[in-house]
Amino acid sequence: MKKNILIAFDDSENAFRAVEFVEKFFTPDCNVTLFSVFPDTDALFLMKSPELSPYFVSQKSSFLSFEDKKKELIRNALKKARDKLLEAGFESNNINIKAECRRDGIARDIVNESHNDYDIIVLGRRGLSAIKEFFIGSVSHKVFNGVKDNSILVVN
């Protein structure tokens, strides 16, 4: 029976390790979805929040340009990850790329995506220090605590 695998993906080394793990330990007939969540900087400017400093608002085009570049880097990384899976023998029609703007938060968006009939979620462990992880948490930790009906594999 084909397994449906969700790989939470960004352009980090940890995300590529998750892809490498899937290519080594799962059969190429599995369905794989590479899922990435883009930050939505533009939404900050639509809020008209008093917390936004005049400098931040005046530099809107610079921030949006930076976000466009980040999206381009992630799209290129997704293509590279897809190519890696193809080289490992996964079929093109079994590899899906999903990239969405952040809605509820990166971890919550991954948890929400996990409700779409996946058998397992694979993600890389973030390289935060123990103190930083204690105070701000990591995406992998938040996903681990948020997912209830799926197996989760955190790749180190």
Per-residue pLDDT of 111-122, as tens digits, reads 999 999 999 999
- In percent, the amount of the chain with pLDDT more than 90 equals 49
Phi, psi of 80 (to 5 degrees): -65, -40
Measured CA to CA in angstroms, residue 97 lies from 31, 32, 73, 132 at distances of: 11, 9, 14, 31
Region 4-39+75-155: CATH code: 3.40.50.620
Q: What is the pTM of this model?
A: 0.82
In tens, the pLDDT along 27-42 reads 999 999 999 998 766 6
Structure tokens at 67: 């976000």
Q: Which residue has the higher pLDDT, 123 or 127?
A: 123
> What value does the mean pLDDT of the chain take?
84
| Residues 5/94/117/145 CA torsion (nearest 10 deg) | 20
